[in-house]
Amino acid sequence: MTTPQKALIIGCGIAGPVMALFLQQVGIESEIYEAQPAGMDEAGAFLNLAPNGVNVLKNLDIDHLLEADGFHSEGMDFFNGDGKQLAQLESSDEEQRFGSRNVMIKRGQLHQILRDEAIRRGIPVRFGKKLRNIQLNGFQGITAQFEDNSAAEGNFLIGCDGIHSRTRQLVFPNAPQPAYTGMVDCGGFAQLPSGLSTSGAMQMIFGKKAFFGYIAKPDGEVYWFSNVAWPKEPKRNELNAISADGWRQRLLQNHRHDPAHILEIIESTPGEIGKWPVYDMPSLPTWHKGLVCLIGDAAHATSPHSGQGASMALEDAAVLAQCLRDSLKVEHAFARFEHLRKERVEKIVRQARRTGNGKMVSNPVAIWFRDLVLPFFIKLGAKASEEVLSYKVEWEKEVA
């Protein structure tokens, strides 16, 4: 940019802190405004940060910060509800092929790592700042107004506030709303049942009524999830109203005809089991307007079946910072960013939706056919994922 700039960043999950760190690299000051009253260090369950996402963090020299809490998956093993292995994917050569390995990590730990690094590098993070309105100040920039009656001024604003983005609602009030996928995702953390060995790979089970996945850390802690068909979109707080024991019993009922160790994992999970309706984001006509731009889930949320949500947000942050670095006007940078990113991310959103639909097959004939062809489709999918995982943001390269 030709003059010093200041960015207002809305949201301090994954995209927000990394956006601020990349802007700092190109000489743009920023402040992060988070609606929650404190850090979301217990948020969600866990996620897979794919090699393409880890490679983004290498550009900031912070990928090593994942090592204390994260661990690597050795691939995926697929089974049907009777315990028969259907297919296998290995990932032991990821670093050689893609430059980094995947990292399995608790979502809250990743939030904390990124936020703490932003603060350590002098980037202010303001909590309890729920966005109320955005006001354009002509050529003078932009003002963000918050529910606590405070305000902040900057040259432009970046919405990193997730799938239910308040930024998107304000700037694009007529844009498509997040689409419910007919599924509830839930999960938690337990200890590996005695006698159950693990290959270090993610175990994926097409259960009779629900899909189940788990992986064990070297210390025996199990990270697990279950995808449950829930055709009607839950009302606000409907899932939270179900007691911990009531939800546990529902899961045990769903998996009662599946391999026994699934029941052991669910039963041995202490406390609450997290549960979240699964949404993705229909294609938006545009991600930017004037001095406001959306990135990450605010622009193109994908369901968790892709394993790419966090990595897509990290890629966005790096590419947008490049565009701002190499453009004379903010509006041109936003347009270039969307042009570079839209096709890639929306293709991944569509593929994730198809993958999720395949988890909910219940017709016996369809199950038989799925088990028959799954090995072929797993190999086909692995080949297609090469393009996704091998993507690298060439940080030093100028964006035309």
Taking CA atoms, 43 is separated from 20, 109, 122, 180, 325, in Å, by: 21, 9, 24, 20, 32
Q: Are residue 147 and residue 194 in the same domain, yes or no?
A: no
Query: What pLDDT was estimated at residue 351?
Result: 87
Residue 112 token pair: 């904390």
125, 67, 139: which is closest to 290 by C-alpha? 139
Q: What is the CATH number of the domain that holds 233?
A: 3.30.9.30
Q: Are residue 259 and residue 366 in the same domain, yes or no?
A: no
Q: Are residue 63 and residue 199 in the same domain, yes or no?
A: no
Q: Which of 254, 279, 304 is the last residue of a domain?
A: 279
Asked if 301 and 279 count as a contact pair (C-beta separation under 8 A), the reply is: yes
- What pLDDT digit, counting tens, does each position of 186-222 carry? 999 998 888 787 788 999 999 999 999 999 998 889 9
**Count of CB atoms within 10 A of residue 289's CB?**
14
What's the structural domain count of the chain? Answer: 2
The CA-to-CA distance between both ends of the chain, in Å, stands at 14
Q: Are residue 254 and residue 332 in the same domain, yes or no?
A: no
Rounded CA Rg of the chain: 21
Determine which helix (DSSP H) or strand (DSSP E) holds 156, and give its type and residue range: strand 156-159
Q: Are residue 190 and residue 49 in the same domain, yes or no?
A: no
Q: What is the DSSP string of 255-313?
A: TTTS-HHHHHHHHT--S--EEEEEEE-PPPS-SEETTEEE-THHHH---GGGS-HHHHH
Residue 355 token pair: 């993958």
Q: Which of 231, 252, 279 is the last residue of a domain?
A: 279
Asked if 328 and 353 count as a contact pair (C-beta separation under 8 A), the reply is: no
Has residue 381 got a pLDDT over 80?
no
In a domain, 395, yes or no: no
Q: Are residue 275 and residue 293 in the same domain, yes or no?
A: no
251, 261, 247: which is closest to 79 by C-alpha? 261
Has residue 183 got a pLDDT over 80?
yes
Q: What is the DSSP string of 135-204?
A: EE-GGG-EEEEETTS-EEEESEEEE---TT-HHHHHH-TTSPPPEEEEEEEEEEEEEPPTT----SSEEE
Q: Are residue 160 and residue 247 in the same domain, yes or no?
A: no
DSSP 140: G
In a domain, 352, yes or no: yes
Q: Which band of pLDDT confidence, cut at 50, 70 and 90, is reported for residue 17?
A: very high
- What pLDDT digit, counting tens, does each position of 274-311 carry? 999 999 999 999 999 999 999 999 999 998 888 899 99
Q: What is the mean pLDDT of residues 314-342?
A: 96
pTM (whole model) above 0.85: yes
- What pLDDT digit, counting tens, does each position of 99-121 carry? 999 999 999 999 999 999 999 99
- What pLDDT digit, counting tens, does each position of 38-80 carry? 877 776 789 999 999 999 999 999 999 999 999 999 989 999 9
β-sheet bridge partners, residue 292: 157, 289
Q: Which of 255, 279, 303 is the last residue of a domain?
A: 279
- What pLDDT digit, counting tens, does each position of 224-253 carry? 999 999 999 999 889 999 999 999 999 999
Q: What is the CATH number of the domain that holds 156?
A: 3.50.50.60
Has residue 1 got a pLDDT over 80?
no
Query: What pLDDT was estimated at residue 171?
Result: 97
Has residue 365 got a pLDDT over 60?
yes
Asked if 329 and 5 count as a contact pair (C-beta separation under 8 A), the reply is: no
Look up the domain containing 188 and give its range: 179-279
Q: What is the mean pLDDT of residues 79-96?
A: 87
In a domain, 399, yes or no: no
